[in-house]
Amino acid sequence: MNWFTILLFSALVPGYFSVQKQSLDGVWTLNESNGAYVNLVASVPGGIYTDLMRNNIIDDPTLEDNDQKYKWVGRKNWTYAKHFAVDKDILEYSNLNIVFEGLDTISTIFLNGKQIGSSSNMFVRYIFNIKDVLKEGDNYLEVKFVSPVITAERFASIQNQSYSVPPECPDSVYRGECHINELRKMQASFSWDWGPTLASVGIWKHVFLEGFNSSVIRYCVVETEEISSTSSWQVSIVTFLSGNVKNSVDGKLVLKLKTDNEDTVTLIVDVNAQPDGNNNIEVRQNVQIRQGSVKRWWPNGYGEQPLYDITVTFYSENELDTFSHRIGYRTIELVQEEVKISQANYGNSFYFKVNGIPIFAKGSNAIPINILPEKGQEKESVDKLLQSARDCHMNMLRVWGGGVYESDYYYQRADEFGIMIWQDFMFACALYPSRQDFLDNVIQEVRHQVKRIGSHPSVVMWAGNNENEAAIHGNWYGSNGKQIYFDDYKKLYFGTIKPEFQKILKRGQYIGSSPSNGVESEAEGGISNNPYDEHYGDVHTYIYELDGFNPNIYPIPRFSSEYGFQSYPSFSTFLKASKNKSNLVIGSEFLQHRQHHPFGDAQLELEVLYQMELPDEKSPNYTDVFIFYTQIYQAVSIKTQTERYRKH
């Protein structure tokens, strides 16, 4: 059997046994619902494109024009299945669950032919009670996914009976799929201006069985606050317990916090509580830690990043469950104060203080590490990204709202490297429904993700979305100032996400959108009259029509959270995407296919001609020169813009 247990305290406390878990990761079977592909070998965690590649059904979808060639994949229904065995003793537990850490996205789950649950959100952990279905010996598990593309179309059709929620489809140059805003999945999987259309499907995170009698620890949320009057840190710890049985839960919660010199602060809490309607229990506790017994956590370039173990163990009915985490002692403040200079109404500041020290944020926006979500979880890729950020003296990454909430490992490494994380919620460049079923789905997403990653010292900031305040104000998608869209916006980001966020993180920093005017946007009702006002909040700046070498074209914002210029990649990089050198000519069908930015090539040519003279288009070296010049223009323009921001 592939049972594994958490044994940290069981050896020290006779008579207690750990919560039992059995991994269901590994080899599964994959079938297309109409029988076109059957009995394929699949891997969990994984995804449909990697599994089809493994079975030689498709080539790498990121090569050539394969993203278009393989659009059929996202329009099919797929079933993942697995036989697994359990022993009789597991059936004796009062609580038997199957836990899916990530399902992408719309699925129905069957165990031994009986439906046990369904999924509708890529960003939620699903836990299903299987006490009455699991049996001794062989069991058969099926996860039946339906096409995200067809489902999005169906949801939009239902929504349109009331009113449409734009944009219905992306710009045609994206070559994407429609209605991604109807689904709670990676928004970029239906295409973006920087990437392909790969409508992912699959069990993209771990899956396991769990057996216990009383309760298990689902989350542990930790926040630190400096108490200057007592020269101490107050550590606020909220432990979230969960079980299927609605009876009162009795037990002891043991909290152990490591300090310097391997000292341990231990606190024992008696638990006697009735679960809520969802069979959950919250246990809140504050612990005082002397300031001299721990060191402060600092962003990269400002100091070290000491991390300290915290272990929470729940003992009840001769069993235990343990949750371990590493925390950093730091304070964080997003400073938005009135700027008082010589003139009135000069706006607000917008910068971060860590441990009371103003921080000059230096960083980048982080889109998904890989367009295939399961591959973005690979530790080697995470290490490469975060190590590179640290090595080039960055201290912040913005996890962009069109991708995914990153893996636990991602945030752990950010803690270790001193890389502050500006965390978007996963909404981007669209309006979204306000149907109650959609909002209820979002609530579960917010609760799970904030509890999962909110304790990391690296996570210093949360934003409700990417560019949606600017989009609705600027009529990007034809909303035409209709009040219903303004109401929907406020309902989602300020009536749903913000209050759920604040219930969990008492000291968390939240703004409705990026860019926004921060507290000024909220004072104006959540949508500013000018979300790009450089005197407030953060801005996104892309200027393709003017000379990027001229520093005076750029604003002087309070905080620049996005800016940049396009360029072509090097010829050698293109050769990784196409072995046909005839494709690698400026203006070729291949390069046009991979250029998803509207008017991208025309803008590149205009920019280059501001500073450089191109050879004749018929010249044999035209493509090489054009590529090289776009890279020069990009490098110098970003340097110029960055230096302007550093100067001011």
Question: Which of 2.60.40.10, 3.40.50.2300, 1.10.3720.10, 3.60.15.10 is the CATH number of 215-327?
Answer: 2.60.40.10
Model confidence over 201-217: pLDDT tens digits? 999 999 999 999 989 99
- 459-463/510-511 β-pairing: parallel
Question: Positive or negative, the Cα torsion across 552, 554, 560, 563?
Answer: negative
* Cα gap 490→484, rounded to integer Å: 10
Residues composing the chain = 648
Which sign, positive or negative, has the C-alpha torsion 366, 370, 373, 379?
negative
Opening angle at CA 232, ends 231 and 237, nearest 5? 165
Beta-ladder partners of 329: 296
* Bridge partner list, 365: 398
Q: One-letter amino acid identity for 580? A: N
* CA 504 vs CA 24, 225, 236, 256, 454: distances in Å: 31, 15, 11, 21, 8
CA 123 to chain centre: 8
- Catalytic one of 168, 500, 562, 605: 562
- Strands (DSSP E) found in 214-261: 216-227, 232-242, 249-258
Other CB atoms within a 10 A radius of the CB of residue 633 amount to: 23
How far apart are alpha carbons 604 and 332 in whole angstroms?
Answer: 40
Domain covering 3-209: architecture: Sandwich (2.60)
Q: CA-to-CA distance for 515 and 586, rounded, in angstroms?
A: 34
Express as a percent the part of the chain with pLDDT over 70.
Answer: 97
- From residue 407, alpha-carbon distances to 63, 103, 299, 397, 565 in Å are 26, 14, 20, 15, 29
Model confidence over 146-180: pLDDT tens digits?
999 999 999 999 999 999 999 999 999 999 999 99
**What is the Cα–Cα distance from 467 to 463, expressed in whole angstroms?**
10
Give the strands of the sheet with 232-242, arranged side by side: 216-227, 232-242, 280-290
Distance of alpha carbon 500 from the chain centroid: 17
Among candidates 550, 582, 580, 186, which has minimal Cα distance to 402? 186
According to CATH, the topology of domain 361-537 is TIM Barrel (3.20.20)
Report the alpha-carbon distance of residue 322 to residue 217 in Å, rounded: 7
Calpha distance 607→628 (Å, rounded): 13
In the chain, what's the furthest Cα-to-Cα distance?
83
Q: Indicate left, alpha or beta for 594 from its phi (over 0: left) and psi (-120 to 50: alpha).
A: alpha
- Bridge partners (DSSP) listed for residue 287: 235
Measure the CA dihedral 144/145/150/151, to 10°. 90
| H or E element in which residue 117 lies | strand 114-119
- Strand segments, DSSP code E, in 480-601 are 510-511, 539-541, 560-563
Domain boundaries, the chain: 3-209, 215-327, 361-537, 563-647
Residue pair 25/206 in contact by the 8 Å Cβ criterion = yes
At 496, is the secondary structure helix, strand, or coil? helix
Distance CA(577)–CA(241), nearest Å, equals 48
In the annotation, is 101 catalytic?
no
Q: Tokens for 159, please give them.
A: 């929504």
Residue 44 in contact with residue 26, Cβ under 8 Å? yes
Query: Given the DSSP bridges, would you call strands 216-227 and 232-242 parallel, antiparallel or unpaired?
Result: antiparallel
Number of helical H runs and strand E runs in the chain? 14, 29
Q: In whole angstroms, give the CA distance from residue 97 to residue 210.
A: 5
Question: What's the pLDDT at 245?
Answer: 67
Q: Quick one: which H or E segment has residue 269?
A: strand 264-273
Query: Beta strands 560-563 and 539-541: pairing type?
Result: parallel
Question: CB-based contacts of 401: which residues, under 8 Å, 6+ apart?
Answer: 187, 424, 425, 426, 427, 428, 463, 465, 466, 514
DSSP state of 516: B
Residue type, 344: A
Q: Is 92 a catalytic residue?
A: no
Angle at 352 between CA 349 and CA 356, to 5 degrees: 110
Cα–Cα distance measured from residue 108 to residue 447, given in angstroms and rounded to the nearest whole number: 22
Euclidean distance between CA atoms 33 and 30, whole angstroms: 10
With both helix axes pointing from N to C terminus, report the angle between 379-391 and 408-417 in degrees, rounded to the nearest 10: 20
Low pLDDT (below 50) residues in the chain: 1-12
With 0.85 as the threshold, say if the pTM is over it: yes
Residue pair 207/25 in contact (Cβ under 8 Å)? The answer is yes
CB 561 within 8 Å of CB 350: no
- Which string of DSSP letters, residue by residue, matches 38-84? -SEEEEES--HHHHHHHTTSS--TTSTTHHHHTGGGGGS-EEEEEEE
Residue with tokens 């299987």: 130
Whole-angstrom distance, CA of residue 76 vs CA of residue 633? 43
**251 closest CA partner among 273, 266, 229:** 273
- The three-class DSSP label of residue 111 is strand
Give me the catalytic one of 467, 522, 534, 607: 467
How far is the first Cα of the chain from the last one, in angstroms, to the nearest whole number? 63
